[in-house]
Amino acid sequence: MRRFSTVCSAWRQAILLVTVLLLAACAHAPPHNPLATWVKSPNQDVRRPVLIVVHYTDQHSAQQSLDTLRTANSGGPVSANYLIGSDGHIYQLVSDERRAWHAGPGHWGTITDVNSASIGIELDNDGHSPFTQPQIDNLLRLLADLTTRLHIPRTQIVGHQDFAPSRKPDPGPLFPWKQLADAGFGLWPQGTLIDPPAGFDPWMAMGLVGYPLEDRPAAVRAFHNHFRGIDGDTLDAEDLRILYNLAQQIESGSNTRTAG
């Protein structure tokens, strides 16, 4: 009798294990529309981000930001895929394939749902202090990893203000975009800047770069913070030279891709 009881117990445990495994498999299976017949195709992969957005936290510690990014705060729930502390420590809060809530309204070029198309990186910074070198060093390490592993173009790295210039100021004029460019990240003027030809349209060039133009003074402020680290909401001759240079890079890259 004792042996029979032991055998039954073993069978019950085996059945329980199989049940748990089946439930686990169902939990991880992709949802299927009940209106359709599921006929799986192997021609697929996970949705991939095509943009990286850099923010500053506008808070006073990494721990405060970790709390904000994991709770329903007064402004509504927000998150990011990554947070980099002032000491350079990298935290991940949302998986790369998941949609973090870091962008809000705005658009960059043809990307109108930035959250769905991007990786959000928050930097522990109060918005008024220089970014620390360990923080920037590890941001560069993270950018190298993400652009390589997720096949995100290295030029597709922007700030929050770039695509939401009427709402957001981050990462601000103190962010070292030139240092990122020297490491091969982000769109940046190349070679000698020259005056654009007659008839050059700077607004068309700004739109080509990606800037939203619904509020043009705000777009110029964002452009100035990113490319010149200065204030001001009107374009000057240096801005036109930079925009002409950037537009040429983009058009040259488009022609190369088309020819290939």
pLDDT at 27: 44
* DSSP state for residue 34 in the 8-state scheme: T
One domain for residues 172 and 56: yes
pLDDT at 30: 58
One domain for residues 62 and 148: yes
Within 10 Å of residue 124's Cβ, how many Cβ atoms? 25
Q: From the candidates 97, 122, 214, 251, which is the catalytic residue?
A: 122
122 is catalytic: yes
DSSP 116-131: HHEEEEEE---SSSPP
Contact predicate 118/53, CB 8 Å: yes
Contact predicate 177/227, CB 8 Å: yes
Domain boundary among 121, 148, 182: 182
State which H helix or E strand residue 54 sits in.
Answer: strand 51-56
Domain boundary among 123, 152, 182: 182
Domain boundary among 182, 212, 243: 182
One domain for residues 138 and 231: no
Which tokens go with 245?
A: 């240079």
Gap between the Cα atoms of 251 and 100, Å rounded: 31
* 173 upstream amide cis, omega within 30 of 0: no
One domain for residues 112 and 60: yes
One domain for residues 173 and 235: no
Contact predicate 170/222, CB 8 Å: no
pLDDT at 22: 46
Within 10 Å of residue 196's Cβ, how many Cβ atoms? 19
pLDDT at 24: 46
Q: Tally the domains of the chain.
A: 2
Count the residues in the chain.
260
pLDDT in tens, 134-152: 999 999 999 999 999 999 9
Residue 193 CB-density burial (10 A; 0-12 exposed, 13-18 middle, 19+ buried): middle
One domain for residues 174 and 56: yes
Question: Which residues, 6 or more positions from 224, have their beta carbon under 8 angstroms from its beta carbon?
Answer: 173, 230, 231, 232, 233, 239
Q: What's the whole-model pTM score?
A: 0.84
Within 10 Å of residue 103's Cβ, how many Cβ atoms? 26
Compute mean pLDDT per 10 residues along the chain, 260 residues long, and list them: 49 50 48 79 83 96 94 82 96 94 95 96 96 98 97 97 97 97 97 97 98 98 97 97 97 53
Full residue range of the structural domain in which residue 214 is found: 202-254
Residue 51 backbone zone (phi > 0: left; psi -120 to 50: alpha; other: beta): beta
Asked, for residue 123, whether it belongs to a domain, the answer is: yes
pLDDT in tens, 101-114: 999 999 999 999 99
